[in-house]
Each structure stands twice: as C-alpha cells, then as structure tokens.
C-alpha cells in the first residue's frame, strides 16, 4: 500500500498526463481500468516508500516507456511485459479504478451530508408556543 504522505511529490507533468489520459479514456467510453499514467504514479510513489520487487521494476520501466516514450533512456526502456507481469499490471489498474470510484462515491456522500447539516443549521427554528 502506498504511503499517502508521498502524494504531494508527483511531478506536475505526471499530474497533467493523468488528466489527459483520463479524458481520452472517457471520450473512448472505456471504464473499469486505470490509465498507464495513474499506474505509473502509484508504482512511482510505492518505490519511494519501499524497494520494488523485480517484477515491479520491470512494470515500472514498461509504464515509464508507455507514458514518457522516447524521453526514457534506452537502457531503461521496456517495450513489452510477459504474460505474468501484464496480469499484475492489469490487476493493479483494476484495483486503482475501483479505489478511485469508491473514493468519489464516499466524497459525494460526505458532501451531501455536509449540505444537509448546513441546510438544517440555516432552517428557522420552530417556536414552541405552549398553547
């Protein structure tokens, strides 16, 4: 599990790439799986809190290559993953998608509860006339 305290270290270019890939995904009507940029951000942050296992180093290199293209030095490029590692990446991307959806739903519920509490606080109080 990634330490959330690392969330603020994502470079701006990667945040922008996440937004662009999400938008492209939305326009294509693709759902149920996170983007390569989202997976890269997750694996990158995970590498800051603990050493990556060799499978995840290769997945990280693959994601770097997919997201950054020719900017990745030749010795770090990874064009393909074997079936096993591709399965690990697919599982991660599905998990990230579900976490994002769940977080959005929880945020929506919290906002609705806050709006109800605010409306209740503004509502005029009933007078007890004792008649």
The confidence score (pLDDT) of residue 33 equals: 94
Residue 62 lies in a domain: yes
Q: How far apart are CA 41 and CA 50, in angstroms?
A: 15
Tokens of 12: 């701006």
The confidence score (pLDDT) of residue 88 equals: 98
pLDDT tens digits for range 58-74: 999 999 999 999 999 99
**Which of 44, 67, 66 lies closest to 56 in space, CA to CA?**
44
State which H helix or E strand residue 83 sits in.
helix 83-122
pLDDT tens digits for range 17-46: 999 999 999 999 988 999 999 999 999 999
The confidence score (pLDDT) of residue 6 equals: 57
Band of residue 94 on the pLDDT scale cut at 50, 70, 90: very high
pTM for this prediction:
0.75
Residue 128 lies in a domain: no
Domain total of the chain: 1
Tokens 């999400």 -> residue: 22
Residue 82 lies in a domain: yes
């Amino acid at each position: 599990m990634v330490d959330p305290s690392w969330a603020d270290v994502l470079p701006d270019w990667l945040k922008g790439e996440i937004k662009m890939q999400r938008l492209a995904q939305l326009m294509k009507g693709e759902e149920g799986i996170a983007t390569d940029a989202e997976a890269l951000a997750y694996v990158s942050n995970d590498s800051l809190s603990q050493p990556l296992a060799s499978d995840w180093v290769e997945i990280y290199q693959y994601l770097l290559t997919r997201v950054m293209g020719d900017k990745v030095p030749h010795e770090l490029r990874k064009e393909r993953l074997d079936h096993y590692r591709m399965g690990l990446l697919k599982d991660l991307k599905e998990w990230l998608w579900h976490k994002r959806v769940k977080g959005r739903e929880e945020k929506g519920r919290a906002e609705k509860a806050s709006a109800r509490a605010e409306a209740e606080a503004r509502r005029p109080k009933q007078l007890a006339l004792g008649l």
